[in-house]
Structure 1
Amino acid sequence: MAYLDQLDGDTYEMAAPEAMEEEAAAEPAEAETEMAAAEENVAEEVTAEEPAVAEVDPAPEAEAAAEEPAAEEAAAEASGFVAMVASADVANGEKVYKKCKACHALEDGQNRVGPHLFNVVDRDIASVDGFKYSDGLAAIDGNWTADQLSAFLTKPKDFAPGTKMSFAGLRKEEDRAAVIAYIQSAAQ
């Protein structure tokens, strides 16, 4: 059914509201079909005329950018302790080391109840030849960084459940930094 409408004195014939709704609903579907056909044609033209150019996925860059702040925060925390070790009082570290020397030697290859600590910083965890490590410590991958050593020395049984080390740990961060600085200095 058509409707008549007057605008500025002229009479216009309009479609029924139901027909207008059907036409409006059909337009997006037609537009999508036309767009898909146009994309297909472009793809065919590119394939026929030029070699295809691989698209670069921007997602890895966005992910890397999102990970950078987290990595920077972790590095800042890590470098905070590393800086603490670098500025630690080595003489105080020697005093703290007295708690360690009953079980650990600083001379290369001289194992005691515990493995020697010569060049322990940056050495693989549980890697001293000839020393039998507990399963808990042997299962940990990585190197003894200053941060790893600090975590271990804080509470060895929490760091490596099942460790044979009976030492309760060093609660004070300053003591851990000082003893690590002393151990490093002894290897030089």
Structure 2
Amino acid sequence: MEEDIMNDLRSSLAGFVDVSVGSQNVSTHTSRASLPRLGHESVSAQNWGRPDLDNTAVYPGQAASAQVFQARVQESAALKSASKWKQHLFSIHGSTDVDSISETVEYVFEAMTQHGPTGLDLRGVASNSVNAEHLVAVLRATAANRDAVPGWAHALGEAPAALRRFGLDPDEVLVGLTV
């Protein structure tokens, strides 16, 4: 996932900054020896996770470019992880075993941790386009934040029809979930 993002962003910075990423650390150095070095503002490459390049000066714009690059990588990864919970939800005939339901809940909590409750948008949920069991899992996982999750009440309203489509009794499955 991050590899594709990295390749896209790396190509956009090619020629200015050589970027290597390992476990969330962005490492940079430049081969342009002609760039002026910063005086007292120089930052050791160790600050960027590259102890092998310790005492290498940072050139003007390099630190800012690396920070922008790191922010873009994190933002892209966060957007991809934020939509992971939707993969099971909108997979109508997808697996509903305990592992896949647990994965959906894990991704919901991950998205809420990264983006808050407003990062989960349930306004597009329609009873004929969701996996009912994953929908109930998402609703239960977000119930404590129901007022802050966009479309939570709408999704709860769609749940009975989705459950009936799967041959499940909404009165039994939705016990405890109210607007």
TM, length-normalised to structure 2 = 0.23
Question: Greater relative contact order (Cα 8 A, min sep 6): structure 1 or 2?
Answer: 1
